[in-house]
């Protein structure tokens, strides 16, 4: 306090200066003030930095060169300077200082850049419907995300499949090496039809950031039986399952395999709601989605150009109501992390392992452990992100939904650990990619 006070008492001090020393002393005083200014400024920056974007600052950073920092700040926003860790569940600001708006998202890694695609939500409960489209962000380091705008826009034409106000959820994008196209798939519910349509939408682009062109929407695998079809499915379908069910757990009057929902939808195509994509090492891509009134998970191999189906698919976890399913491959095995079916409310996650994509799948239990594991830390799985440069290292990505104010949904990113064959997710208030070292 004393030195700060003294440094600003310039009038008193200058009384004693003779003409010869005047310039020199002024210089000294100003350099002393300058030093103090830097000190105060950097303390202020540090304090402010604790709260910037819900991220911690890089405490190892030396801010001795004021001029350099000052110039940097002119060119970059504060969070660009300082983000170096993940803080699950907190506001996560993009390069413009705006909370990232990419819910139910997934990540594409292409030529050294990560692209995060997700549902753009607006404020209030209206945000649970698609008023804008699919938002895309890019990043080199997974901490700092640049807003790249709307990759796929909803249509102003009310007769379009993707008319504003439809439900467009869980968009995912993969790159097709043969066609050179970026291919987006999403769960689509037609305008004004609630969750009845249960369709898949497809869009393509020449650039990862879009604009994507909507191709069509449809129900998968019309006229095709799954590789593990049972005898019952080929029998005539009874009238009691032709009526509509709410789609949720407990809605169906009996076990889905006795009701034969698969057979019911054989001609028109299978229902497809919560979804994901997975590209295997051999370039084959798979669409994973909740089907048969959400009761059963389907995994369908896509066509070589990724814009339709190959006709080869399997049905798994019958009567388990798996949602938010996300697939990844580790140590030569295929893993799934999924949720139960409880709408926007979180529940206990599930995990499963298989030697091949189309089974046989074996459940491994809730991968979340510790406090709040019964709600997957108040989140629902949306994607498993391979950290490209490292082997067998993955990030669990989940959504903490806020249906009453959809835009305020939060992102839960946590590292996946392995205990033997079993993936395990532990809560972390804050963590960085150094965790994987």
CB 347, min distance to ligand GAL, A: 9
* Closer of 109 and 245 to ligand GAL (Cβ): 245
Among 344, 418, 435, 436, binds ligand GAL (CB under 6 A): 344
With binding defined as CB under 6 A, does residue 324 bind ligand GAL?
yes
Using alpha carbons, select from 388, 430, 392, 436 the residue that is nearest to residue 107.
Answer: 388
CB 188, min distance to ligand GAL, A: 11
* Closer of 124 and 343 to ligand GAL (Cβ): 343
311 CB neighbour count, 10 Å cutoff: 15
C-beta nearest to ligand GAL: residue: 343
* Closer of 143 and 321 to ligand GAL (Cβ): 321
With binding defined as CB under 6 A, does residue 169 bind ligand GAL?
yes
In the region spanning residues 345 to 404, those forming contacts with ligand GAL, defined by CB under 6 A, are 380
- Listing DSSP states for 237-277 in one string gives PPGGGTS----STT-SSS-HHHHTHHHHTTTT-----SEEE
With binding defined as CB under 6 A, does residue 69 bind ligand GAL?
no
CB 346, min distance to ligand GAL, A: 10
CB 130, min distance to ligand GAL, A: 12
* Closer of 198 and 202 to ligand GAL (Cβ): 198
With binding defined as CB under 6 A, does residue 225 bind ligand GAL?
no
* Closer of 56 and 382 to ligand GAL (Cβ): 382
State whether residue 154 is helix, strand or coil.
coil
- Listing DSSP states for 60-83 in one string gives T-----HHHHHHHHHHS-HHHHH-
* Closer of 27 and 244 to ligand GAL (Cβ): 244
CB 182, min distance to ligand GAL, A: 22
- Listing DSSP states for 303-346 in one string gives PTTSSSEEEEEEEESTTS--EEEEEEEETTEEEEEEE---TTS-
Contact range with ligand GAL by CB under 6 A, out of 153-161, 252-260, 337-345, 429-437:
337-345
* Burial status of residue 428 (CB atoms within 10 A of its CB: 0-12, 13-18, 19 or more): middle
Using alpha carbons, select from 275, 283, 265 the residue that is nearest to residue 201.
Answer: 275
* Burial status of residue 117 (CB atoms within 10 A of its CB: 0-12, 13-18, 19 or more): buried
What whole-number distance in Å separates Cα of residue 79 and Cα of residue 57? 9
CB 292, min distance to ligand GAL, A: 15
With binding defined as CB under 6 A, does residue 274 bind ligand GAL?
yes
What whole-number distance in Å separates Cα of residue 183 and Cα of residue 302? 11
Size of the site for ligand GAL (CB under 6 A): 10
Among 264, 323, 337, 413, binds ligand GAL (CB under 6 A): 323
In the region spanning residues 89 to 118, those forming contacts with ligand GAL, defined by CB under 6 A, are 104
CB 170, min distance to ligand GAL, A: 6
Distance of CA 335 to the CA centre of its chain: 18
* Closer of 175 and 401 to ligand GAL (Cβ): 401
What whole-number distance in Å separates Cα of residue 301 and Cα of residue 228? 14
Contacts of 153 (CB under 8 A, 6+ apart): 132, 133, 211
- Per CB under 6 A, residues contacting ligand GAL are 104, 169-170, 274, 323-324, 341, 343-344, 380
């Amino acid at each position: 306090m004393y030195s700060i006070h003294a440094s600003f008492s310039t009038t008193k001090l200058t009384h004693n200066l003779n003409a010869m020393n005047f310039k020199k002393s002024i210089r000294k005083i100003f350099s002393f003030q300058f030093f103090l200014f830097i000190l105060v400024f950097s303390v202020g920056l540090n304090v402010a930095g604790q709260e910037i974007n819900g991220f911690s600052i890089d405490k190892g950073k030396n801010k001795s060169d004021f001029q350099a920092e000052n110039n940097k700040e002119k060119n970059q926003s504060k969070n660009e300077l300082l983000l170096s860790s993940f803080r699950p569940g907190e506001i996560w600001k993009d390069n413009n200082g705006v909370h990232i708006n990419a819910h139910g998202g997934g990540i594409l890694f292409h030529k050294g850049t990560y692209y995060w695609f997700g549902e753009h939500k607006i404020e209030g409960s209206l945000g649970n419907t698609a008023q804008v489209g699919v938002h895309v962000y890019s990043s080199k380091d997974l901490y700092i995300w640049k807003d790249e705008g709307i990759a796929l826009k909803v249509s102003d034409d009310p007769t379009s499949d993707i008319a504003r106000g439809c439900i467009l959820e869980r968009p995912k994008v993969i790159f097709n090496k043969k066609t050179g196209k970026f291919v987006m798939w999403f769960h689509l519910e037609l305008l004004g039809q609630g969750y009845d349509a249960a369709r898949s939408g497809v869009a393509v682009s020449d650039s990862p950031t879009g604009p994507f062109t909507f191709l069509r929407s449809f129900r998968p695998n019309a006229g095709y039986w799954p590789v593990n079809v049972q005898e019952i499915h080929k029998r005539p379908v009874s009238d009691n399952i032709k009526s509509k069910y709410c789609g949720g757990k407990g809605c169906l009057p009996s076990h889905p395999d006795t009701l034969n929902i698969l057979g019911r939808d054989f001609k028109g195509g299978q229902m497809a709601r919560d979804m994901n994509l997975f590209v295997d090492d051999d370039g084959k891509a798979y669409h994973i989605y909740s089907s048969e009134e959400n009761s059963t998970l389907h995994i369908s191999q896509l066509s070589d150009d990724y814009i339709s189906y190959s006709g080869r698919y399997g049905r798994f976890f019958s009567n388990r109501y798996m949602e938010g399913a996300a697939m990844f491959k580790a140590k030569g095995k295929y893993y799934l992390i999924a949720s139960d079916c409880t709408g926007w409310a979180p529940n206990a996650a599930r995990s499963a392992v298989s030697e091949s994509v189309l089974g046989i799948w074996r459940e491994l239990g809730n991968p979340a452990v510790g406090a709040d594991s019964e709600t997957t830390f108040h989140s629902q799985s949306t994607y498993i992100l391979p950290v490209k440069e490292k082997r067998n290292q993955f990030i669990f990505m989940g959504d903490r939904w806020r249906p009453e104010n959809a835009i305020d949904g939060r992102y839960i990113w946590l590292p996946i650990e392995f205990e033997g064959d079993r993936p395990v997710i532990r809560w972390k208030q804050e963590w960085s990619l150094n965790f994987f070292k």
